Amino acid sequence: GEMPSASGTPPGEWTARSPSLVVTIVTALIVVFTAAFLDRSPPRPTDAETAFAHTEATPVVVATSSVAPRLSPPPPRPPVPPEPAAAAAAVPLSDRERALLESLDPDLFAALPPRAGAWEEGAHPPCFVDDASAKRRCLPDYHVVGAWQSGGQAFNAKLGLRPDVREGAKPHFWNEPDKPMNAYLDLFAARAEETDDALQITRVGDASPGVLANTWTESQRLHRLFKDAVSSCWQACQKLPDTFNSGNASGSDEHTPTPRRLCVDGDANESAPGCIERASRIDAVVNGSASDFFGSAFSDSNDASKSSLPLRSTPLSVPHLMRHAYGAKSVKIIALVRSPLARLRAAFAHYAHYAKEFGEGEDGFVKFVDFFIDKFERCETEEKEKRAKKETLPDDAIGHTHFFTPRTTCAFHFEALGPDFEKVFYHCDQLIKTMYGTFANGWVDAFGAANVLFLRTEDAFSESAIVRKRALNRAIRFLGLRVPTDDVVSKMDSCDEASGCARATVFEEDARLARLDFGDGAAATRSETRKKIDAFFEPELDTLARLFGDDDEATSWAAWGRGDSY
């Protein structure tokens, strides 16, 4: 079974004994060791990090006075050894990176230890007593970060049926810039007050699906200066005329921008920068110099911590902000991801503005896919051209984004890369939010692969109960909790059914979307569109395979969800 072996017999020690005595003594030892093992409480995970060692619709936190009965605590079961971790380790934040993050969100860090108090030793969830208010405040133990239309909230509701897991909330704090940290801490402190000390290990989660894909819109906590600069510039430009004087010969040229438009967009030669270009120049993440943020190739004697750092694979973003906020406290990241084609179809069907813009039915879906992929690939091309022009500049003069691949830069900063991309309908949002591998790089970069679990929606909501329960058990082991009995797992698995879990009915729509195939999924999608989607997302699936490896019991990441595999 899954119980660790209790055998520790030194080789050769018993060879001189009689066979009957050997059997008697070995049997007695097994009984003693097994009894002691089963009576032992599971070890608490260390607080040291093991590997480091906007929403699309307004989120609603459903409050109800009637709480469905929780399942009885399971009988003691031995903890299962954790699954082997992938090789990718977290990249520690340098002193300069930590200082930068604190400067970008000072209120957040002022509300946390070490400034606001000291973390409680060994507490789950991570809590501290605020020095100023004497209130106990907490962060969640784990985050189910997405993806959208992939069932993360419904899956978290299943986890919340365990007596040692509190379902938590979905406040979308990390991807929305104007929510105060103290309110977030108080929300999870209230959940922590519900914990049962007799259970010894309790986990509280945040299931905000907008946090996985750190697009420009979803990472505004790090770009407030940019946002404010664009707003001020735009307001100033509105004071300029939007027409030409009749004597101006250029006024007859429909391609010549008006003074107001030129002020907003700038000119093609960048001799007159527009609002976005001006804002980019003061955004520390977009335009930070190489010597400020990178490793040995750009180190200096003033920051010894930089000299041993490898280059990051993504820009600083929400995962790095979260990592620094938690300090050395343990935190786990879970993502449910859906096959790219299925998620794109789900998003197209779920949000009416896409059908309004591109048309309904299969013709509309084809236009939706073609438009977003074409615009994104244009962004990649322009990024390559920009870098070719800047090859003659000193390293320190090259913007921060130029040390990442064009694909990564466009995914993280699409609408901030110029007025042409800012004007793209919804900034290619659904395409970019399906680029799982690109954003997984950032989560692993911040937390290490041992603390990041990617599950497939197709497994978590499979027609096979065996497959669904296997996904649940993987998450349970990942959180460091006891493996439940089969009966408890079966009750957890029924959570998304109308009669199975009253407390999770608020997530019924989330579960329904996760199971919906929108007309046999790929079968309803034209062959050329399937191939285009497969080609675009192939690098994303390859990245997931590299970061997390392939599950022996499931389809490989590289083959999973390909339209031509249906």
CB 101 within 8 A of CB 224: no
Residue 504 counted as domain residue: yes
Q: What is the pLDDT of residue 563?
A: 62
Q: What is the pLDDT of residue 455?
A: 95
Residue 236 counted as domain residue: no
Residue 353 counted as domain residue: yes
One-letter amino acid for residue 253 of the chain: D
DSSP 395-437: GGGSBGGGGS-HHHHHHHHGGGS-HHHHTSGGGGHHHHTT-HH
User: 521: part of which helix (H) or strand (E)?
Assistant: none
Cβ burial 209-229 (10 Å sphere, 16+ → b, else e): bbbbbbbbbbbbbbbebbeeb
> How many C-beta atoms lie closer than 10 Å to residue 480's C-beta?
21
Residue 523 counted as domain residue: yes
Residue 246 counted as domain residue: no
Alpha helices in 40-159 (DSSP H): 95-104, 106-110, 152-159
Which position has the higher pLDDT, 120 or 38?
Answer: 120
Instruction: Let me know if 244 is exposed, middle or buried by CB neighbors in 10 A (0-12, 13-18, 19+).
Output: middle
Q: Is the pLDDT of residue 550 over 60?
A: yes
CA distance 142 to 121: 18
* Three-class DSSP category at 366: helix
Structure tokens at 351: 């949000």
CA 236, chain centre distance (Å): 37
Residue 256 counted as domain residue: no
Lowest mean pLDDT among 60-74, 355-369, 385-399, 526-540: 60-74
Strand-pair category, 142-144 with 203-206: parallel
Nearest to 120 by CA among 327, 334, 333: 327
Total-model pTM: 0.78
Range of the domain at 381: 41-54+91-107+139-223+283-566
CB 472 within 8 A of CB 489: yes
Cβ burial 488-518 (10 Å sphere, 16+ → b, else e): bbebbbbbbeeebbebbbebeebbebbebeb
> How many C-beta atoms lie closer than 10 Å to residue 547's C-beta?
20
Residue 85 counted as domain residue: no
Per-residue pLDDT of 97-144, as tens digits, reads 999 999 999 999 999 999 999 999 988 899 999 999 999 999 999 999
Integer CA distances (angstroms), 365 to 438, 510, 533, in order: 24, 22, 12
* Three-class DSSP category at 128: strand
Q: What is the pLDDT of residue 420?
A: 92
CATH number at residue 372: 3.40.50.300
Residue 414 counted as domain residue: yes
One-letter amino acid for residue 475 of the chain: A
CA distance 476 to 79: 10
Structural domains counted in the chain: 1
> What is the average pLDDT across 282-292?
65
* Three-class DSSP category at 156: helix
Q: What is the pLDDT of residue 245?
A: 54
Angle between the 486-493 and 465-478 helix axes, to the nearest 10 degrees? 110
Confidence class of residue 168 from pLDDT cuts 50, 70 and 90? confident
Beta-bridge partner residues of 138? 127
CA distance 151 to 509: 9
Q: What percent of the chain has pLDDT above 90?
A: 50
Nearest to 365 by CA among 530, 225, 139, 489: 530
Structure tokens at 234: 């735009």
Confidence class of residue 555 from pLDDT cuts 50, 70 and 90? confident
Strand-pair category, 127-129 with 136-138: antiparallel
